[in-house]
Amino acid sequence: MTGSDLLGLVVRRAGRSHVRPRRRWSAGTARRVVGRTSARFALVVLLLSLAAATAPGAVAGANPAAPATAASAAVCPPAGPGYAACLSLYRTDIPARSRSQVTPATPPPGYGPMSLQSAYKLPSSTAGAGETVAIVDAYDQPNAASDLATYRSVYGLPTLGTCGSSSPCFRKVNESGGTSYPRANSGWGLEIDLDIEMVSAICPYCNILLVEASSNSWTDLGTAATYAATAAGVVAVSNSYGGSEGSGETSTDLYYNHPGVAVTASSGDGGYGVEYPAASQYVVAVGGTTLNTASNTTRGWTESAWSGAGSGCSAYEPKPTWQTDSGCARRTVADVSAVADPNTGVAVYDDYGSYSGGWYVVGGTSVASPIIASTYALAGTPAAGSYPASYLYADPAGLNDVTSGSNGSCGGSYLCTAVAGYDGPTGLGTPNGTGAFTSTSSTVTVPGAPTNVTATAGNAQATVSFSPPASDGGSPILSYTVTSSPGSFSATGAASPITVTGLTNGTAYTFTVQATNAQGTGAPSAPSNSVTPTASTAPLTITTTSLPAGHLNRSYSATIQATGGVSPYSWTITSGTLPRGLTLAASTSTTDTISGTPTVTGTFTFTVQVSDSTAQTASRSFSIRILRK
């Protein structure tokens, strides 16, 4: 039997095996059904791989041979400030192949499910049942369900059923969870098909939730991401979009801060440089690789850093506690990676709008993000209160270390060059099974106590500075609370310093600081130094600008006026001399007097300084001319 015949047989048998009505099931029943069907699915995977490898002109994995630099184009146009672009590229040198042109002898171009599962040693035929992977994209893809059904049918993946039944399911909602969808968009439509088809390729027994944002604005995408992460049953959320970093991005982090859910984000397709939301300290930043078959290796595959993957050091985001690389004081991108190079792209089916040609070869880190999100789903539900990015750093040996390739110029640093261990373009590596995507410990505790607490008084307030605790409890610190004693006045902030208002002037206070993470609030710090708020005062200033002339041997008196400050005051001559016979009085008020009877003639220049009880000072230079008559 030829490979073509075998592929046809498998597809027909797979089609029959998934049309039987199924009873509704619970998550527990799902796992038992998977156990019974895993052998059948594994056989389908094996036979399809064999057929693809033996089909005329086919390469193992059905990925077309590509030139050194394949012709590709961005699916979405660049986005301006306040907006994001999807991060996918399609091959323009490989014509789209219609559905009717896909036969056992001419499989879809690009890597399919069996190739990806093989490359990353994933238990796709036995894991993932009952788990839900959410996809966040902008605008509507009207044909998402039918395109996904075609993709799964061609590759012999389990047929989708009604959510809550014994089959994996697909559900589409808007950014608020409703069914009034946004306007359609062809570019984002291809992105949507790519994302949901990659979930199917990696975790065919997973449920898929597509959340469509009303637009590609950060507000709409963030709203969709929040809905996705909080929807029932969701264990992973993929965000295949990005845009330039900005000084206000940390205020947008709330959309992506969901402990207990694996939130992934594409690192970008423009080479060395950091994009958001991959820069967020709360997400799993996903870089990209070039993936090729390699019969001369034990793994059977080889990977290098893709030249287009984004990476680098964030300009604004703080470094997560689990990142320890020394070349970047803030958040480093990426954490992990998967195939993204369009030269070695994946097969995607799209039958809508500008991309209605059928099968395309697609790359970009938009491929990698849903692959990684689905790998987390295969690994099981993340530990409550944890940030799944931290799992990777606890088990880097569970990943394929990528040690060659570069995505730009950074002086040869690991930030843009693949090296042994951690690097920017590929993070810690690519999946090698699901071990590195599982929490090594489900114990998350409250943070320790902050240290080095100091206070500075103001007018009815005090500003408190402190250092973070030595331990965050295994979960990033979300906020700090400063509390006064006496009075229990408090204020909350994301970092030091924090100002407490509403204090009583003239009352002495000390302050303690507590840190809070997803698990709860930790113990208070040791008290700060004691400070006493006081009423604010105007700056101390000498307002007199000149002094009158005097006459030899005649009585002289001139007043110098000051404003502001806090009494008592003191006045001195700091430089120069008064005319002989004149003296500066010892005043403690805001005025002082120079008086006496001058006994010499001439012009005399000197500087007067006034100081107050708070150590403020003010100075001014004067001249007095003493005339003969």
Q: What is the CATH number of the domain that holds 496?
A: 2.60.40.10
Residues in the chain: 629
Residues 152 and 290 in one domain: yes
Residues 345 and 470 in one domain: no
Residues 107 and 154 in one domain: yes
Residues 356 and 259 in one domain: yes
pLDDT for the residue 441 = 58
- For 384, the token pair is 């409550």
Residues 607 and 476 in one domain: no
| Cβ contacts of 472 within 8 Å, gap of 6 or more | 321, 447, 448, 515, 517
Residue finishing a domain among 405, 437, 469: 437
pLDDT for the residue 387 = 93
Integer-rounded Cα Rg, in Å, for the chain is 35
CB 213, CB 84: distance < 8 Å: no
pLDDT for the residue 459 = 85
Structural domain includes residue 496:
yes
Structural domain includes residue 527:
no
- List of the chain residues with pLDDT < 50: 1-68
CB 282, CB 255: distance < 8 Å: no
Residues 507 and 599 in one domain: no
Residues 202 and 280 in one domain: yes
Structural domain includes residue 531:
no
CB 314, CB 333: distance < 8 Å: yes
Structural domain includes residue 446:
no
| CATH code where residue 368 lies | 3.40.50.200
Q: What's the pTM value of the predicted model, to 2 decimals?
A: 0.68
pLDDT for the residue 73 = 94
Structural domain includes residue 530:
no
Number of domains composing the chain:
3
Residue finishing a domain among 486, 521, 556: 521
pLDDT for the residue 192 = 98
Residues 44 and 174 in one domain: yes
pLDDT for the residue 498 = 96
Residues 133 and 19 in one domain: yes
Q: What are phi and psi of 516, to 5 degrees?
A: -125, 135
Structural domain includes residue 203:
yes
Structural domain includes residue 305:
no
Which domain range does residue 559 map to?
A: 541-627
- Taking residue 103's Cβ as centre, other Cβ atoms within 10 Å add up to 11
Residues 503 and 559 in one domain: no
Residues 426 and 472 in one domain: no
- For 212, the token pair is 């469509």
CB 311, CB 272: distance < 8 Å: yes
Q: How far apart are CA 534 and CA 537, in angstroms?
A: 9
Residues 66 and 138 in one domain: yes
Q: How far apart are CA 85 and CA 207, in angstroms?
A: 26
Residue finishing a domain among 489, 521, 553: 521
Q: How far apart are CA 104 and CA 12, in angstroms?
A: 11
Structural domain includes residue 443:
no
